[in-house]
Amino acid sequence: MFRQIGLTLKRIALLAMVALPVFGFLASGLGVNGEPPNSLHVAPVSNAARPGVARADRSEQGPRGESAEREAATAPAVEAATAQADSNGQSTDAAVRRVVERLDQSLAESWRAAAIEIAPPADWLTVCRRLSLALVGTGVPLEHFRRLESMPADRRLDVYLEWLLHDSRHHDYWGERFTRAFVGAEDGPFITFRRRRFRLWLSDAIAANRPWDQLVRELVTARGLATDRPEVNFLTVTMNSSEPDQPNPIRLAAKVSRAMLGLRIDCLQCHDDFLGNVTLGEPDQLRRGTQHDFHGLAAFFSAARFSGLQGIRDTEHPYRYQFLDTDEEVEVEPRVPWGQEWLPSNGTDRERLAAWLTHPENRQVAYSLASRIWALMFGRPAGEAVDDMPLDSPAPPAIAVLADELVRSGYDIRHLIRLIARSRAFRLDSAADFEITAQHEDLGSVFPLVRLRPEQLATSVIQASRLKAIDRDSALLVQFQKFIGTNDFLERYGDSGDDEFDQQSTTIPQRLMMLNGELVREQGRREAILNATTHINLFSLTDRDAIDNIYLAVLNRYPDEAERELFAARVVEPSAAGDKAPGQAAGNENAPAAPPGNGATSAGRQRTVRLTSSTSTPRRERLIEDLFWVLINSSEFAWNH
């Protein structure tokens, strides 16, 4: 019997030896090259190689603070990132400041011309949340706030901007955003289209800060198999829509016009413009668009043919189309709707089109990209729509300045992000002491209130339930939970699809899903060992700290004094005289509860607020869990402001 007991104990010990490291790996993750996980990438990028990575010490501590060594390890890398030029040599601090001054001046002139009020600057916590939502699609992790609080106040925003620009979450998030612009949100043809390959290719391009004109050329002239050359998926996503097993030139022309030129000319596919909605031609000879404009653009892609194992290649294949009010198809020659002198005579049709699109004088491409990046940063376009910038209408002042700088900098996307993030318009408050109208938001004199997109809402809920940033270095279990939770949420809540900037009202089923859905319930459970509610309850030294931490984790701000007193009063355990609310004496059940105060006591009354408690009580556990649910379901959480 004793031998059997000994064998059983050995098996249990062996199982524990195997299970504990596995659980530790799943729960804590493993760093790269033996370093701690979740390090922030802040090294500058060079043209010669992929970005280097500088990693800071991220030793585990409680929610209330970070070590001085962590700041010392992080500061040099951040200084290097902000002081040196980026991939195109355009983003030194001095260069950024000069362009930001021009950008602010153009906005100020439009504000003076409209004689409108200007909102005051927002606090740094609010701007950090905006940066995080714009660049990585989630709120700010509590850990990041603690690290930033240990830095000088005048450095926090610029430092955090550099952190995010070199964060893998930013590369993945913007890779998905541009993937939707180029190939949509659907999976496309089963055999010939690989959406994930295309998205990862764009993510790598953003991580390397490759120039935009180079990406446009590769997309338009892509050749080969979609599995070997990810850019080919831009063409193969249109297969099986007209001619079987071949790319569709019509869909490609529509995609180029919207995603690269910022124009909606789809209606010209079927008829000429009779209503004056589409204006094309030279700047001094503008005219209404015609069918020949659209199909002349489509003709550039007619030679791109799919040939089995060779994939996409260029062949002799003329473009033919039957125009409205004609009896038969005719051959259509490739032509551009303006700037014919920019179209080279040598090369294949797609190479010629790519050269025309990226010509330095073709400002429409720069306007389109500047408008899209502005929309990604603010959550809404500067004009009517991100893909509708007519030639006969002047670009918004900010977009004009950004487009000029984009061409001058060699189409440096990261440089453009820095300009917008450091502009006055991006750092204004969304609240003011005057009545805010649509004109204020359109001109940028206040930061616009924008509802979070569904994927932002889902990932923000999940990130709020963790103290650390969830990225590629996070625990496999945490990454898996985020992946499953986000997909399940979007399936039930609904995805915005290709119309990312279309502001729609929340439906009743969507509100009910936030109130009663599994995602919010699971992420706030105090029983889960990985949730922020559990960690905040265990490691917050006082009730005040616990309330501050849950507000920072969810809403990315500190509670005001009234909010803090209100919730702190509910942490107090009932008195021994009975389960009475604070301020109710025993035997006087009808007496009103005392209002939240400053913690002082008087004769015959209980102490109403205990802000210095260091004990984790069941009552505080329930309060933190309930407070997480309340804040997640608040309007403040669901809007970018």
- Per-residue pLDDT reduced to its tens digit, 335-373: 999 999 999 989 999 999 999 999 999 999 999 999 999
Q: Are strands 285-288 and 639-640 parallel, antiparallel or unpaired?
A: unpaired
**Which residue did the predictor score with more confidence, 140 or 597?**
140
pLDDT, position 300 = 92
Confidence of residue 227 (pLDDT cuts 50, 70, 90): confident
**Which residue did the predictor score with more confidence, 599 or 226?**
226
Spatial distance between the Cα atoms of 158 and 63, rounded to a whole number of angstroms = 23
Q: Could you tell me the sign of the dihedral formed by the alpha carbons of 557, 561, 567, 571, in that order?
A: positive
Burial pattern 227-260, b for ≥16 Cβ within 10 A else e, equals eebbbbbbbbbbbbeeeeebbbbbbbbbbbbbbb
Spatial distance between the Cα atoms of 550 and 499, rounded to a whole number of angstroms = 33
Q: What is this structure's pTM?
A: 0.81
What percent of the chain is modeled with pLDDT above 70? Answer: 79
- Per-residue pLDDT reduced to its tens digit, 233-270: 999 988 876 666 788 999 999 999 999 998 988 888 88
DSSP codes, 393-416: SPPPHHHHHHHHHHHHTTS-HHHH
Confidence of residue 148 (pLDDT cuts 50, 70, 90): very high
CB contact at 8 A, 598 and 609: yes
- Per-residue pLDDT reduced to its tens digit, 1-48: 667 777 777 677 777 666 655 545 444 433 333 333 333 333 333 333
Give the Cα-Cα-Cα angle 518, 524, 527 (nearest 5 degrees). 105
For residue 164 the two structure tokens come to 């995010």
356 CB-side CA count, 13 A = 26
Query: Residue 310 has what DSSP assignment?
Result: G
For residue 392 the two structure tokens come to 């006969």
Q: Could you tell me the sign of the dihedral formed by the alpha carbons of 621, 623, 629, 634, in that order?
A: negative
pLDDT, position 155 = 92
| For the chain, counts of helices (H) and of strands (E) | 26, 8
Closest to 608 measured CA to CA, from 639, 634, 570, 637: 570
CB contact at 8 A, 293 and 270: no
Closest to 86 measured CA to CA, from 114, 44, 124: 44
Query: Residue 342 has what DSSP assignment?
Result: G
Q: Is 337 exposed, middle or buried (0-12, 13-18, 19+ CB in 10 A)?
A: buried
